[in-house]
Amino acid sequence: MTSPVRQASLKDAEQITAIINRAFRSAEGFFIDTDRINLESVRDLFQKGNFFLAETEDVVAGCVYVEPRGRRAYLGLLSVDPTSQQSGLGSLLMEAAEEHCRRLTCRFMDIQVVNLREDLFGFYHKRGYVETGTHPFPPEIETKLPVHFVEMSKSLIAL
Question: pTM for the complete prediction?
Answer: 0.93
Model confidence pLDDT, tens digit, residues 50-80: 999 998 877 889 999 999 999 999 999 999 9
- What is the DSSP track for 69-82? ETTEEEEEEEEE-G
Share of the chain above pLDDT 70, in %: 97
Model confidence pLDDT, tens digit, residues 21-56: 999 999 999 999 999 999 999 999 999 999 999 988
> pLDDT band at residue 2, thresholds of 50, 70 and 90?
very low
Q: What's the mean pLDDT in 133-139?
A: 94
Look at phi and psi of residue 91 and say left if phi exceeds 0, alpha if psi is from -120 to 50, else beta: alpha
What are the residue ranges spanned by the domains of the chain? Answer: 6-155
CATH dotted code for 6-155: 3.40.630.30
